[in-house]
Amino acid sequence: MTLRMENLERLTLAEMEVFLETHQHISWSVPERESVYKLIEQVLKAQGYGKLSKGQKGIVRRFLVKVTGLSRAQVTRWIQRFRNTRRVKRKAAQRPRFRSRYTAAHIAVLAQVDAAHQDLSGPAVRHLCQRGWKVYGDPKFERLAAISPSHLYNLRQSAAYGKIRVRVVHTQARQVSIGERRRPEPQGRPGYIRVDTVHQGQHDGRPGVHHLNAVDTVPQWEVLGCTETIGERCLIPVLEAMLHQFPFRILGFHCDNGSEFLHQTVVKLLNKLLVEEFTKSRAYRTTDNAVVEGKNGAVVRKHMGYRAIGAEHAETWQKFYTAQFNRYLNFHCPCGFATITTNARGRKREPTGIRIIGRHSRSWCHCPAGRST
């Protein structure tokens, strides 16, 4: 049976004492906690608890224990809180809340960097943030300069980042063979470049442009070019202009087994530039030209996409590469270099880590004094 009692705070001390004597064998409880706290506060205020004698306070305490269903210790604690604060109210949970080191503003800056550089790896993005703070003194990069690459990926998965930028890109590397039937051996010297072509595709039977990609093996200096076709008339001028953009002398030229490079016109061009080696990939050795093939997916396809671009736009793309994009790749876009150590016997060990630096920094470190730049 459920009994509902109202206006309990209006009872006098005598009525409370009679209530306790006549209901000794009846237990009471209040289901809602907030109602319990409200009842205790109302009774204590109505009775003027602070001015009561010790015996009268005992009557009020026993009455509250009876009608609330709380223990004597609990009621005593609530009375003490009422005397201190004049309120009987549950305290909010004091859970530890740590300040977010990276706020929504920092995540917005990260999204801007990813959008500008087409979602580079975590170490590369951290290098850009460090460069923005230490080199250019931009305060918005101060905290991101110390971020760990692993936590950078966590921020990319956050809701704040998703509201600003969401992009999923799947790149596919093309496997192309290359050739003088041996792998070039630069011995840590710059000047040994690897070249490949990337076709932009056709649309409604109209041919697309061909991208030329040249990468130096050691400093990773990269130069892109664009031509209408891979025939000698269009390819040779673009290839020569690309070779002149390297800041060091070309010592070796490595390509795949495609006919666009394996002909006498290219040989004459290389002889004119005093190129010492002209090699091509071996059969079933796909790693001979893996450096440039990896760049085809990571740079060309990533930035230029897969949609067809008409061959009539080749000159426009060539100007863009020469004036802007090649400078961005080599002076602003960081690149990862494997750290290879040598044991006591002089044998090279497996890469132990990746260093993120700019291509231009690596190039000047390997450029001998007096060499033409």
The CATH number that applies at residue 209 is 3.30.420.10
**337 inside domain:** no
Residue 370 lies in a domain: no
- Same domain as 125, residue 78: no
Specify the pLDDT at position 97.
75
Is there a single domain that holds both residue 135 and residue 196? no
**Residues 152, 31 share a domain:** no
Structure tokens belonging to residue 169: 């890109």
Q: Are residues 241 and 123 in the same domain?
A: no
Same domain, 75 and 143: no
Going by C-beta distance under 8 Å and a sequence separation of 6 or more, which residues neighbour residue 186? 192, 217, 218, 251, 252
pLDDT at 168: 56
The pLDDT of residue 230: 87
Q: Are residues 118 and 213 in the same domain?
A: no
Does residue 30 lie within any of the structural domains? yes
Q: Domain of 214?
A: 192-328
What is d(CA 246, CA 237) in angstroms, rounded to the nearest whole number? Answer: 15
Same-domain check for residues 56 and 113: no
pLDDT of residue 1: 43
Q: Comparing C-alpha atoms, which of 85, 90, 82 is closest to residue 41?
A: 82
Would you say residue 307 lies in a domain?
yes
Domain boundary among 55, 85, 115: 85
CB atoms within 10 A of CB 113: 20
Structurally, how many domains does the chain consist of?
3
Q: Tell me the residue ranges of DSSP E strands in the chain.
A: 192-199, 210-216, 222-227, 252-255, 277-280, 334-338, 354-358
Is the residue at 336 inside a domain? no
Supply the pLDDT for residue 171.
55
**Distance (Å, rounded) from C-alpha 110 to C-alpha 126?**
10
18 within some domain: yes
Q: Is there a single domain that holds both residue 274 and residue 218? A: yes
Residue type, 53: S
Please check whether residues 77 and 109 belong to one and the same domain: no
Regarding whether 296 and 196 lie in a shared domain, the answer is yes
* 369 domain residue, yes or no: no
What is the C-alpha separation between 110 and 156, in angstroms, rounded? 8
Q: Are 199 and 322 found together in one domain?
A: yes
CA angle 363, 365, 367 (to 5 degrees): 65
Same domain for 285 and 198, yes or no, is yes
| Cβ 230 vs Cβ 213: under 8 Å | no
Summarize pLDDT for 218-265 with one digit per residue, the tens: 888 999 999 998 888 899 999 999 999 998 899 999 988 878 888 888
Q: Is the pTM of this model over 0.75?
A: no
Q: Which two tokens stand for residue 201?
A: 């595709």
Q: In the prediction, which pLDDT does 196 show?
A: 92
pLDDT of residue 150: 92
Taking the C-alpha atoms of residue 214 and residue 223, their distance in angstroms, rounded to an integer, is 5
pLDDT number for residue 29: 66
In a domain, 360, yes or no: no
Contact yes or no for 296/174 (Cβ under 8 A): yes
Residues of the chain under the 70 pLDDT cut: 1-7, 25-31, 166-180, 348-373
Which of 53, 85, 117 is at the close of a domain? 85
